[in-house]
Structure 1
Amino acid sequence: NTRLAPAEYKAVSPLGTAPCISDGDVTLAETNAIVDYIMDKHDDGRLRPAPGTDNRADYLFWFHASQGSFQPLLTNKFVMMAMTSRAPFFLKPAAKMLVGGLDKAFFGPRLSAFMAEAEKALGKHKWFAGEELTAADIVMGYSMELAAHRAGMDAGNYPNAHRFLQQMRAYPSYQRALEKDGKGTILL
C-alpha cells in the first residue's frame, strides 16, 4: 500500500492527488483551492468573514496555516514514523535513531508551537476565527483529527483543541462526511 491516491485520479487530476473535484469544465485539486471555489459558488458569507471585519485576519491565518504549516508537519512526521516501522529489521535501530532525532529537533518543537497557538486561539473564541464556524475550522478539522489520532493531542494536553474537535464531530455535516467516506478512512 503506497497510501497514494488511486491511479484513476490521474484521469481527473494530472498530479493524481486527492482531494480533487470536477464541476462542469472545472477540475480542481488542493484542499483550500477547492474550499474557496465551493464558497465562491455557494457560500452566503457565513463561512468566510468579509474583508475589514474583526475576524478576517484570524480566518485567513488559520485557513492557510492548516494546509501550509500544520498538515505538512503532520504528514512528514507520519511518513518518518512509517519509514521506521517498515524498515528491514537490521536497519530499524538506525531508522529509529534518525527519526527520533528529527522528531526531537524538528517535528516535535514545531508541532508543539503550532498546537500552543491553536490552543491559545481556541481559548479566546469558540472557533478559530471567532464565535461562528468558518471554512478555517473546516480545513483545520481534518488536521486536528490527525493530530488527535497520531500526534498525541489529547484533552489533557490541549483542552480547547479537544473541545473544538467535539464541536466539529457534533455537526451533522461532519457526520455525513464520515458516513460517505467510510468511518475511519478519513485519517492517513
Structure 2
Amino acid sequence: MLTLHHLGRSQSERIVWLCEELGLDYELKRYSRRADNRMAPPEYQALHPMGTAPILTDGDVVLGESGAICDYVIQTHGEGRLAVKRGEPGFADYLYWFHFANGTLQPVLLQVWSLERVDPSDKNAPLRMARERFSRVFATVEQRLGEVPYLVGEALTAADIMIVFSLTTMRLFNRCDLSPWPNILAYLQRIGARPAYRRAMQKAEPDLTPVLGAVPE
C-alpha cells in the first residue's frame, strides 16, 4: 500500500489531494513541525536523504519531490488519470502548467519573501526585480484562469494539484494578498468546492481552515 508521510503545512498536502481525487487506498502518516525552528522533526528527515516533504513509500520505493510523486502515483496506481497523454488535446499545456508550479510560481514567491526580510525598501534593487517578476507570474495565471476553469481546460488535472498549495497554504508563511487577481480567487473557490479537496485537507490539516480567500485568516 502507498504510504504518504505528510509534514504539517507543506507541499505534501498535494499528494493527499491527488490520492483522494484518484480514489486510491493509502496510509497517511502525519508529522508535526518542530516548535523551535518549524522544520521537519528528525524522524521525518530520516526517511529520505533530502528530508523534505513530501515523501512517499511504496514497498521498496522511497520517493521525494511532489512532481515526481504525482507522476509516479498517476502512472503506477492511477491508470494515467489526471494526466494528459502525448497526442491528446492539451498535452503541451499540461506539461507547461504542471512544471510551472515549482519551476516558476513557488520560486518567485520565495524570492520575494526572502528579499523582503533582508530589506523591504524600494532601495533594494533585487527586490524590485523580483516583485516585477512576481506581478508578471501572477498576471499570467490570472489571464489563463480567465480563459478556462482549470489550468489545462475544462477538467481538473495534476497541474492544478501542483499549483494550488502555492496559492493557498504556502501563503500562511507570508500573508500574500490575492485581491488584485479575481480569476485566481474564483478558481480557488472552485477548488475548495471539490469533495476530494475538502477530504484531503481535513485529513492532512484537520486544524486548518483552507486558505481560499484573498488574505489568509
* Runs (5+) with no aligned partner, structure 2: 1-35, 212-217
Partner residue, 1:72: 107
Residues 1-188 of structure 1: matches in 2 within 5 Å? 1-81=36-116, 83=117, 95-97=119-121, 101-106=125-130, 108-145=131-168, 146=170, 150-154=175-179, 157-182=180-205, 183-184=207-208
Aligned 8 A contact 1:6 1:16 in 2: no
Identify if the C-alpha distance between structure 1 residues 147 and 117 changes in structure 2 by more than 3 Å, giving closer, same or farther. Answer: farther
Identify if the C-alpha distance between structure 1 residues 121 and 142 changes in structure 2 by more than 3 Å, giving closer, same or farther. Answer: same
Number of matched residues? 173
Please give the secondary structure, in 2, of the residue aligned with 1:8: helix
Q: Percent identity?
A: 37
Please give the secondary structure, in 1, of the residue aligned with 2:101: helix
Please give the secondary structure, in 2, of the residue aligned with 1:67: helix
How big is the shift at 1:165?
0.5
Letter in 2 for 1:150: R
How big is the shift at 1:10?
2.3
**Distance across 2 between alignment mates of 1:133 and 1:52:** 18
Alpha-carbon displacement from aligned partner over 1:120-141 (angstroms, at most 9, x marks no partner): 1111111000100000001111
**Distance across 2 between alignment mates of 1:76 and 1:99:** 16
Alpha-carbon displacement from aligned partner over 1:98-146 (angstroms, at most 9, x marks no partner): 895433222x111111111111111111100010000000111111213
TM-score of the superposed pair, with normalisation by structure 2: 0.71
Aligned 8 A contact 1:80 1:99 in 2: no
**Distance across 1 between alignment mates of 2:189 and 2:154:** 15
Moved over 4 A (4+): 98-101
Partner residue, 1:90: none
Aligned 8 A contact 1:147 1:153 in 2: no
**Distance across 2 between alignment mates of 1:30 and 1:98:** 35
Alpha-carbon displacement from aligned partner over 1:128-170 (angstroms, at most 9, x marks no partner): 001000000011111121359732212xx21211111111111
How big is the shift at 1:78?
2.9
Q: Which has the higher strand share?
A: 2
**Distance across 1 between alignment mates of 2:74 and 2:164:** 17
* Runs (5+) with no aligned partner, structure 1: 85-94
Identify if the C-alpha distance between structure 1 residues 115 and 96 changes in structure 2 by more than 3 Å, giving closer, same or farther. Answer: closer
**Distance across 1 between alignment mates of 2:41 and 2:115:** 22
Identify if the C-alpha distance between structure 1 residues 101 and 2 changes in structure 2 by more than 3 Å, giving closer, same or farther. Answer: farther
Please give the secondary structure, in 1, of the residue aligned with 2:49: coil
